[in-house]
Amino acid sequence: MEDGRVVSGYAMGHIGETGGELCFNTSMTGYQEIMTDPSYHGQLMMMTYSHIGNYGASDEDMEALKPMIAGLIVRSFTYRYSNQLADESLEAFMRKHELVGLTGVDTRTLVRHIRAKGVMNAVISSVDLNDESLVEKARYWPSMEGLELASRVTTEKAYDFCEGTAKRIAVYDFGVKLNILRSFRARNCTVRVFPSATPLSTVLDWNPDGVFFSNGPGDPRVMPQAIETVKQAVQTDIPLFGICLGHQLMALSQGLDVYKMYVGHRGANHPVKNLGTGHVEVTTQNHGFAVQQESVTDEIAEVSHRNLNDQTVEGLRFKTFKGMSVQFHPEASPGPHDSHYLFDEFLNMLEGYAPAMHQNGKGDSYSLVK
């Protein structure tokens, strides 16, 4: 680690060397969805749950075409899995994708260290075993702060994800998770995904009913082109929706401030209060940046959701245009389905939208499946 701490364990997956910002995820399951989430691009992922690999790996659990994390660190790695739906072991999956890992590590001690010292860069190596050399590499690894990464994970060209009979949703891909696209498909939408640098005029030529700004990795403050695109989209009368990085970009476009968190939120068990309904939702989260509370003014937006662990801003409803955004991940995958209703709320902004899903007695949509 860049602060000089060295931890030894056993190599798993690909034999090699990798590095990045060391972060941790508190989910008890869903390791493959976490590993393939584009928002984790370039980060070392440490799982707090002890046993990883128990149910192998499956093509059905991918959130992108390949793993996005830089490396994996676990307490106890399971080489033999028990799951009739799995396609292969997690070890085989990691070797196939040349993903470096480390097991036999006291992850709880490391998590406490990060929470006390703040997130920092680290290096995993199964080829260079010199402590001083690895610490030096960690210290010179590029910092996540000030790093633009969305361009590395966005689609190279626009593509149609699905065709439905409801509304047309244009998706700006800054690192979009597949389950976000599936969530729109489940609501019978037509979805076209555009590269992150696509001019708004090109998107408008497709005649969308709504524009969605996706999640993704990196520092939103160094994405002037994306912020300008959001500003232009605000000038139209088209409803806008942003998740995670998209939420931060929408905030920045309206003059709100975003800051780098001391320790990010990553897991599938974070309590968030919906300030409109008073309900508390258990949410999936993955972010290292957040909107500065003090910059939110009544003229621009109102806070719609708040994190109950540290009171950070988790959602915004904008006052001067049809727009909503949330910091957490309502599509889950992995995680609970408490917040799926947000996709319906966005689509309800689109005049004439009729939900193509069954409703329960409380007016909430039933949980989606992949």
Catalytic residues, by residue number, are 244, 329, 331
> How many helices (H) and strands (E) in the chain?
10, 18
Strands, sheet with 301-307, edge to edge from the N-terminal-most edge strand: 159-162, 190-195, 168-173, 210-213, 240-243, 323-326, 313-318, 301-307, 258-274, 280-291
Radius of gyration of the chain (CA): 20
Could you tell me the two tokens for 170? 């244009």
* Residue bearing tokens 């984790």: 40
List, in order, residues 6 or more apart from 112 with CB less than 8 Å away: none
Could you tell me the two tokens for 230? 């959001």
Q: What are phi and psi of 186, to 5 degrees?
A: -65, -20
As to burial, measured by CB atoms within 10 angstroms (0-12 exposed, 13-18 middle, 19+ buried), residue 277 is: exposed
List, in order, residues 6 or more apart from 235 with CB less than 8 Å away: none
Strands, sheet with 100-103, edge to edge from the N-terminal-most edge strand: 10-13, 100-103, 71-73, 43-47, 17-25, 120-125
What is the rounded CA–CA span in Å between residue 301 and residue 186?
29
Asked whether the CA dihedral 289, 294, 297, 302 is positive or negative, the reply is positive
- Count other Cβ atoms within 10 Å, centred on residue 348: 13
